[in-house]
Structure 1
Amino acid sequence: MGALPDGDAAPGDGLLPASAASGGADRAFGVYLHVPFCRVRCGYCDFNTYTSTELRGARQDDYADQAIAEIALAGRVLDALAEHDPAVRRPVSTVFVGGGTPTLLPPGDLARMLDAVRETWHLADDAEVTTEANPDSVDAADLRTLASAGFTRVSVGMQSVVPHVLRTLDRTHDPERVPQVVAWARDAGLDASVDLIYGTPGESLADWQRSLDAALSYDVDHLSAYALIVEDGTALARQIRRGEVAPVDDDLHAAMYEAADATLAAAGYDWYEVSNWARGGAVSRHNLSYWHGEDWWGVGPGAHSHVGGVRWWNVKHPAAYAQRLAGGESPALAREVLDDETRRVERVLLETRIRAGLPMDVLDADGVAAVPQLLADGLLDEEAALRGRIAPSLAGRLLADVVVRRLTSST
């Protein structure tokens, strides 16, 4: 698991500087609830997750109460911040429960966590409330309970339908379970999304097309497709280093992305962020809130938060997290206050990944000067540019890092 970034020490009471209240009325507010538990560790995973043998004293069945304690602390912190600007204390627009495998917790625990969010902040009338789920960690009764508690979406970790690809990823679910979970979700009144991974060593273009076709057959309204990134320290990285599996093929990655975009477009799905497609406007509003630099509070070990240009992150291990909360302390480990230029550059980084694009006037002079060549190279959408916005073309999505580097070269 990757190390947390450096930053200034966070105060024990978690209080935020008055500057974080500025402009709160102009930004949506979301909540991310991290559930750091998994039955097994997938070979590619670098997330802050723990199997039962790695908990070292932390208890999975105590976790909901610990998360609720952080939610209560968050309420106190934002109450104090609201003294500077009451608008910062606004209802929650989106909630996303991620992990790990959130549905390893009983659905009643997830419902209690959502109730704590509702009681602390209130939910907007049209709030989007999502949980991730592995296909083998949830059943029809669980999904009915979650829907009754106020959840509106479930995001199913499908990854692939090809057995040898799932084995390489150390995924243990039966791919036949995925359409069943999607059907149960629909029966419970939940929107359903599936997550795919492409570029697994040994996966062919035909394998990937098979997974895309299967996902479309489930009739979901949202689909995410992420390129496999081999992170240092993972089991998969060690296997590649030892020559046990083939390294990632960047050209094949590009071909797989192009296949996904063409297949999904033909089926009526629109891309709205580099790795996300939806039909009928069923975008993930929570994901979009990150790309738009909105405010969110991240609850749980290792969770990151952002409110009004202040970014902070919690201690990583569940035992350390529990210990801080039991002692009445904030679990925040460190934080940074972003200056105006850093926020501008981050906006370029984030909003050039979305179809709506970035307003041209956010660029500095060097960034504006880079636009003609990016257009000539076919990396920007010409129609968007005529409207004064910077959005990637298909080639630009494949080379998103190149686009950002050129637009921010002066920094």
Structure 2
Amino acid sequence: METVILAVVIAVVVLGAIGGLVVSGRKKKQLPPSPPAAPSAPATPSVTAPPAEPHIGEEAETPHDEERRTIEEVGLPEAAEAEVPTVTPEVPAVEVPEPTAGRLVRLRARLSRSQNTLGKGLLTLLSREHLDDETWEEIEDTLLTADVGVTPTQELVERLRERVKVLGTRTPEDLRALLREELLTLIGTDADRSVHTHNGIGTNGDEIPGVVMVVGVNGTGKTTTTGKLARVLVADGKSVVLGAADTFRAAATDQLQTWGERVGARTVRGPENGDPASVAYDAVKEGIAEGADVVLIDTAGRLHTKTGLMDELGKVKRVVEKHGPVGEVLLVLDATTGQNGLVQARVFAEVVDITGVVLTKLDGTAKGGIIVAVQRELGVPVKLVGLGEGADDLAPFEPEAFVDALIG
């Protein structure tokens, strides 16, 4: 019996030892590996450190033990007086246009390059040994192609035939002199081609600036011509105020103001789509107040087929005349439009009293005969011609210089 009890005790002890070893092995596997000991570090007593202050970035400074202050106690740094740069508004330089005297002569080379087709064509035909009916028909066709017009062409051909028959022998110099004389007769040299800008007498008896209205359909270069005319007048020593009465085109108003700024002329403008007559009235009023020499009014370039809008143009003139007389009404025509330009001229003349014509784009066409045709149609002279895109390419029309350029 004792032997059995002893065997049971031994078995329990063995099982207990084996269980302890297993539990001890599991605990050793769960523990993380201990960090290596610092070499030869002196033993220090274990002290619990306070949590470190949170820092931003790796270069954060070590916090200092300072007495904390309230926001009222912290003074703001004194702001240094900032230097404000002085901005000077850019004022466009005022240009000094070249004198108008002899300007057409200076532009003669440009004019002759485009116009000598007519002159050379006529001289070539007249130089033929036998001037038969067929040749005279060719001369007539050449003149008609140049937009001289039917009646003026017939008159010129008749005079040439008669004078050539009397002349007999024809040298090139004789023919050139003959053609020059007849063309000058056709164009006319006695007309007053000056732009009337003299001061008028107002309705109250006081002196007012000379008033010039510029009319014409869209696309003829009317607004540009008004700006160039301002340069012509400034070049002749006159002070100018511009009236932007083409209120239906904002671009036209801006364009006119730019032209005025270049020569120091002020532009009176109104709201977009405003009353053109009101703007024209205000422009003359400002011109009187400033003591200006001339007021130029750029009107709306309406199609001549729209009767109501043409009546509006007549209204502009009537409203301006409440200040005093309008000294000049210039009709701007495109020299390239030919006979269609005559239709425009006729309709405008029915609405306002045209006193002179400005022919633009004369440098790009061989149809210089339109000068003769439009003068016959309106009974008024061509006063200015546009010979290019340059600012000073608007020239007073001089028949002698024009004919000389025409025949070379």
Which interval holds the TM-score relative to the shorter structure?
under 0.3
TM-score, length of structure 1 as denominator length: 0.27
Instruction: Point out the structure with the larger strand share.
Output: 1
Larger RCO, structure (CA 8 Å, separation 6 or more): 2
